[in-house]
Amino acid sequence: MNQTYAALHALPSDLINKLCRSKVTRLSLKQMYTLGRHVLESKNQSALVIPAVFLHQELPIRLSHALKMLNSNTLPVNLADMPNFQHIARSYLEDISMVTQMPKPSTPELEEEFTALLRKLEQRHKIKVLAISSGFRELMNSAMQQPDYNSLFYDNGKGWTINPEADKAIQTFFNRFYTINLGTRLLIGEHLALHDRGLNLVHRLNPLSISKRAIQDAQKLCAAHYRQAAPSVLIHTPNPDISTTYVEEFLHRNIYELLKNAMRATCETYLNNGSPVTIGLSPASSMNKATASKSKLPPIKLILVDGGEDVTIKISDEGGGMALSEMDKIWSYVHSGNSSRLRQPSTMVQKHEKVIEEAPKTTTIITPFQPSAPNTSTLHKSDVSETNMVLRAVVHPADSMTVMGGLASEAKDYLDLPLSGSGHGLPLARLIARYFGGDLSLISMEGYGTDSYLSLYRNDDHLENFPEVDEEMAAEVDVFVNDLLDETSRGSQQESSV
């Protein structure tokens, strides 16, 4: 009997239905910070029982919301027919079963057992997010094989390009799915940090010190990539002692992402065969000259301001900017990273092999507390018919994580990824910024440079931006679970007869 089948039959018949229709309990930064401080200051392991009991109740609801998204019909291609996504959906069912079958962690001993399960769930989540990357490649590859017969692409006269409505549907789906996973992982990560490391992820922090560390990390990566000094970063702030309640890794990851983009744009604009060139832009400002490095490139400027409602970080570069028509694409999961290379001559669509070669490269999915890795798509090849766009997975009696487990060895921290082409950096950075009421926006001047604005909402009572999933999606999960019960039952019967 495989693990998915066992997990399904261990659950009460109506539990998934109830979980899918339950509302999540949204938390604020203030609540997370206050509870974390209480646990740390008590210096008593029994204090962890309170957050453990909450997680025991809350995690199955959040996991079921992710399951609902995977079985939704909001995408132009049915994800339920994609083998990778089927394995991921089964994995969520197994996770729900493991949490709900464990006794409520109402004692320190049971809390220890529950925390051990959280460590396992954290690792399983890492594999699932990597598999999502592979599944997205699978989705795009299958559609690219016969663009004449699907709604994803159209020929605009210059080649095949993504249909704007399909791109919008993909954007909506992944925004919601990644936001659900972002919040779920934050809760798991917070509890593990309190239990294993004696610290809370949400705390009072100084954005200036985080910015300085992000600058050093981005400059190190940029210098290694271009083999010369990275652009200097000039910092200006009227108040160096700004503090706010936030998640340190959220802030560092976003500033680091924006600085990487600014440094890359600057270097690509000014460097020719490894040597600085001049294209007539204005000279560097005299502001903060003491912080400039040996680089001859125009400096990047970081301005940190403490407003009444927001803490805002502005990062400005002279990296050539972007055309207005290209601005929407920077938030697209289809166009971001290496996946921007979608267009190809229509004549190339005639041969299967050439379509595979020209399909978008694998996109790397990166979320806070969740490293990812490039080029994982080759680990899962879909069985695609050249005359039929519908993909069907063969249900094998095996644990879903065994099927996806090879991906775990490919995991890398976001700091270890290359300077460019590693995936959905900006779309995910905006989701992170918006999760507790902030935002991320860009303004670009083609021919000059780009300004990025990262805002942190100072009101730490603002609740998580956790998306609701409608009743129609919950009904689709019921169909999925019932079908899966039938399929896994048949698979187990076949295995027994062999």
| Structural domain count of the chain | 2
State the Cα–Cα distance between residues 423 and 441, nearest whole angstrom.
18
Regarding whether 373 and 487 lie in a shared domain, the answer is yes
Interval 468-489 mean pLDDT: 62
Distances (CA, A) of 490 to 84, 86, 220, 495, 496: 21, 17, 55, 9, 10
Please say if the pLDDT value at position 291 is more than 70: no
Regarding whether 130 and 24 lie in a shared domain, the answer is yes
Regarding whether 262 and 394 lie in a shared domain, the answer is no
Domain assignment of residue 493, yes or no: yes
pLDDT of residue 496: 54
pLDDT of residue 159: 73
Contacts of 280-284 with C-beta under 8 Å, sequence gap 24+, read: 281/318, 281/448, 281/449, 282/318, 284/234
Domain assignment of residue 343, yes or no: no
Looking at mean pLDDT, say which of 18-27, 163-172, 324-333, 373-382 comes out highest: 18-27
Q: Is 231 helix (H, G, I), strand (E, B) or coil?
A: coil
The strand ranges marked E within 164-257 are 202-205, 233-236, 244-247
Residue 396's nearest CA partner among 478, 487, 483, 496 is 487
pLDDT of residue 166: 82
State the Cα–Cα distance between residues 90 and 93, nearest whole angstrom.
5
Interval 44-56 mean pLDDT: 95
Interval 296-324 mean pLDDT: 95
pLDDT of residue 267: 94
Please say if the pLDDT value at position 440 is more than 80: yes
Regarding whether 323 and 211 lie in a shared domain, the answer is yes
Regarding whether 75 and 10 lie in a shared domain, the answer is yes
Least confident residue range of 126-135, 297-306, 443-452: 126-135
Domain assignment of residue 319, yes or no: yes
State the Cα–Cα distance between residues 255 and 257, nearest whole angstrom.
5
User: Which helix (H) or strand (E) covers residue 496, if one does?
Assistant: helix 471-497
State the Cα–Cα distance between residues 261 and 442, nearest whole angstrom.
12
User: Do 322 and 455 contact (CB within 8 A), yes or no?
Assistant: no
Regarding whether 151 and 210 lie in a shared domain, the answer is no
Regarding whether 173 and 234 lie in a shared domain, the answer is no
- What's the mean pLDDT when you consider all of the chain? 77
Assign residue 243 the CATH number of its domain.
Answer: 3.30.565.10
Regarding whether 212 and 150 lie in a shared domain, the answer is no
pLDDT of residue 476: 62
Regarding whether 275 and 133 lie in a shared domain, the answer is no
Regarding whether 210 and 74 lie in a shared domain, the answer is no
* Higher pLDDT, residue 300 or 380: 300
With 0-12 / 13-18 / 19 or more C-beta atoms within 10 angstroms meaning exposed / middle / buried, residue 377 is buried
DSSP for 53-99, please give it: HHHHHHHHHHHHHHHHHHT-S-SSS-GGGSHHHHHHHHHHHHHHHHH
Please say if the pLDDT value at position 306 is more than 90: yes
Interval 152-174 mean pLDDT: 81
Please say if the pLDDT value at position 205 is more than 60: yes
Regarding whether 183 and 46 lie in a shared domain, the answer is yes
Q: Which structural domain, as residue segments, surrounds residue 43?
A: 3-200+369-400+478-497
383: left (phi over 0), alpha (psi -120 to 50) or beta: beta
Q: Within 10 Å of residue 308's Cβ, how many Cβ atoms?
A: 5
With 0-12 / 13-18 / 19 or more C-beta atoms within 10 angstroms meaning exposed / middle / buried, residue 6 is middle
pLDDT of residue 285: 43
Look up residue 254 and give its amino acid: N
Which band of pLDDT confidence, cut at 50, 70 and 90, is reported for residue 187? Answer: very high
pLDDT of residue 282: 41
Q: Model confidence over 378-423: pLDDT tens digits?
A: 222 223 223 232 322 322 334 554 444 444 444 456 666 656 655 5
With 0-12 / 13-18 / 19 or more C-beta atoms within 10 angstroms meaning exposed / middle / buried, residue 272 is exposed
* Higher pLDDT, residue 456 or 127: 456
Domain assignment of residue 355, yes or no: no
Domain assignment of residue 419, yes or no: no
Domain assignment of residue 349, yes or no: no
pLDDT of residue 5: 58
Domain assignment of residue 285, yes or no: yes
Regarding whether 290 and 436 lie in a shared domain, the answer is yes
Q: Model confidence over 211-247: pLDDT tens digits?
A: 999 999 999 999 999 999 999 999 999 999 999 999 9
Interval 311-318 mean pLDDT: 98
pLDDT of residue 136: 76
Assign residue 117 the CATH number of its domain.
Answer: 1.20.140.20
Domain assignment of residue 90, yes or no: yes
